[in-house]
Chains A and B, each alone.
Chain A
Amino acid sequence: MAATQEEIVEGLAEIVNEIAGIPVEDVQLDKSFTDDLDVDSLSMVEVVVAAEERFDVKIPDEDVKNLKTVGDATDYILKHQA
């Protein structure tokens, strides 16, 4: 069953917490991964791989650069999840 927007944000928050140590409550739709959440370009690759597994979605490398905020990633996953 496809995940809801709320479930995706919650999942991304857990992933970002694991990788960058940011408290889960700080991971909100309007937050930028690099500017607000201490996720650099290498850690972003980890976030993407973890999100792919968790939400059963493929995020090709060329799409990763468009995922600037948690909202961008959430929309992408909503649209593309299997």
Chain B
Amino acid sequence: MSPTNRTVVVTGIGATTPLGGDVASFWEALVAGKSGVSLLEQDWAAELPVRIAAQIAVEPSEILPRPQARKLDRSAQFALIAAQQAWKDAGFTAKAGEDQSANPDRVGAVIASGIGGVTTLLDQYDVLKEKGVRRVSPHTVPMLMPNSPAANVGIELGARAGVHTPVSACASGAEAIGYAIEMIRTGRADVVVAGGTEAAIHPLPIVAFGNMMAMSKNNDDPQGASRPYDSGRDGFVLGEGAGVIVLESEEHAKARGARIYVEAVGQGISADAHHITQPEPSGNGIAHALQNLLDNTDLKPAEIVHVNAHATSTPQGDVAEIKALRKVFGDDVDHMAISATKSMTGHLLGGAGGIETVASILALVNRTAPPTINLDELDPEVNADVVRGEARQLPEGQIAVLNDSFGFGGHNVVLAFRTV
């Protein structure tokens, strides 16, 4: 096979999420239909119109050494934890080079975040105002820059083939994984650590999203607030965390005897060119991305049995995605079990594509589609087979999953994975 058309596989997965601090606990809670959303007990939240969020299950301070953690924004802490899990899960025992099965010159890192080090930026501005110039941390710039999670993961794992941070709001994590697939497919790297992270649970982002009317204000029922596809949905619930995977050329993985989870079939990308925050309502922009996926890969609609939908619980977005699936796949949508895992995890913005890719891979490996919770009354415009209430078994044989991610700005990214 030519170096520009190499098969890409997934050999490691890692996650730290509102449902659990590692992949096993995350998956267990997803399949059980648990909500990670809770009331914000912090003092600063008391007077806010939105007082709910999906907060991380295991604080990074319980895992990272303090001297390392204090030089990292929370988003980079999440990314580093998830990346270390994924790297170890892929069978590497030390950073590239020290573990000789990975050549650092052939290892890349692509980690994205939608907003970057926003809590560092805002906290240090408070320090400047309250304590003066001298007290602003000299680590502020390397902590707040959006490429900081990728750069820190790259340093930690010895990635020298290239370190990148695509930014496309809530599509960022998926775009990072798509970018990583291309790095391997085109021969720039043999192994790439890729995913998304976000840490934006802070009064300013919460108030700002709230003022856009984008967030659920269902403070009285935190666990019932994120309700994709339900007629009563009133916006997304902000979540935090990271999901990171190890992608590898099939050739490289087989040569070192690595366990292969799934094939990363490829990606479809498009842009709406419509509105800075609203999705193109007919679903044409998303449909274009889905069509690109089919045109650029050997994926067949018949083998797609599951979709981890973007479905954030906003009135417009949830419907546009279903319309797009119908446009491109027609009746084939009927055999696709659609899951909106944001009903449980909340919306991790740039981290969403990361943890939802991990969920998609696990759905294939375990042949189980996680449920969509809080779906009491299906929106009549959602004419698709949504997995409601309980997890559902997926068919035997070769099957594939789609992971959809869309972002403010009109970014559409669809990733496809397939059993091996």
Contact = CB atoms under 8 A, between A and B. Distances in A.
A35 B113 CA distance: 34
A19 B70 CA distance: 8
Interface in A26-52: 38, 42-43, 45-46, 49, 52
B67 A46 contact: no
Interface string B56-82: 000000000111101100000000000
B134 A49 contact: yes
Contact of B66 (A21, A46, A49): A21
A78 interface: no
B67 A19 contact: yes
Contacts of B67: 19-21, 38
B142 interface: yes
Contacts of A19: 67, 70
Contact of B137 (A20, A21, A46): A46
B355 to A, nearest CB: 30
B65 A46 contact: no
B267 to A, nearest CB: 37
Contact of A42 (B68, B134, B138): B138
Interface residues of A, number: 10
Contacts of A42: 71, 138-139, 142
B138 A45 contact: yes
Interface in B116-149: 134-135, 137-139, 142
Contacts of B70: 19
Contacts of B65: 21
Main secondary structure of the interface of A (DSSP, over half): helix
B142 A49 contact: no
Contacts of B66: 21
A13 to B, nearest CB: 14
A1 B101 CA distance: 60
Nearest to A52: B134
Contacts of A43: 71, 138-139
A45 B139 CA distance: 9
A52 B137 CA distance: 15
Nearest to A45: B138
A34 to B, nearest CB: 14
A28 B67 CA distance: 19
A50 to B, nearest CB: 10
Nearest to B134: A49
Contact of B135 (A20, A21, A38, A49): A49
Contacts of B138: 42-43, 45-46
Nearest to A38: B67
Contacts of A20: 67
Interface string A54-73: 00000000000000000000
A45 B67 CA distance: 15
B140 to A, nearest CB: 10
Nearest to A44: B138
A7 to B, nearest CB: 23
A20 B134 CA distance: 20
A21 B71 CA distance: 12
Contacts of A52: 134
A47 B65 CA distance: 19
A45 B142 CA distance: 14
A63 to B, nearest CB: 15
Contacts of B134: 49, 52
A20 B70 CA distance: 9
A6 B71 CA distance: 29
Contacts of B139: 42-43, 46
Interface in B129-180: 134-135, 137-139, 142
Interface string B383-416: 0000000000000000000000000000000000
A38 B71 CA distance: 13
A38 B134 CA distance: 22
Contacts of A46: 137-139
Most buried by A among B65, B67, B71, B134: B67
8 contacts: A19-B67, A21-B65, A21-B67, A42-B71, A43-B138, A45-B138, A46-B139, A49-B134
Given A19-B67, A20-B67, A21-B65, 6 more contacts: A21-B67, A21-B68, A38-B67, A42-B142, A45-B138, A52-B134
Interface of A: 19-21, 38, 42-43, 45-46, 49, 52
The 3 nearest A-B residue pairs measured at CB? A21-B67, A45-B138, A42-B138
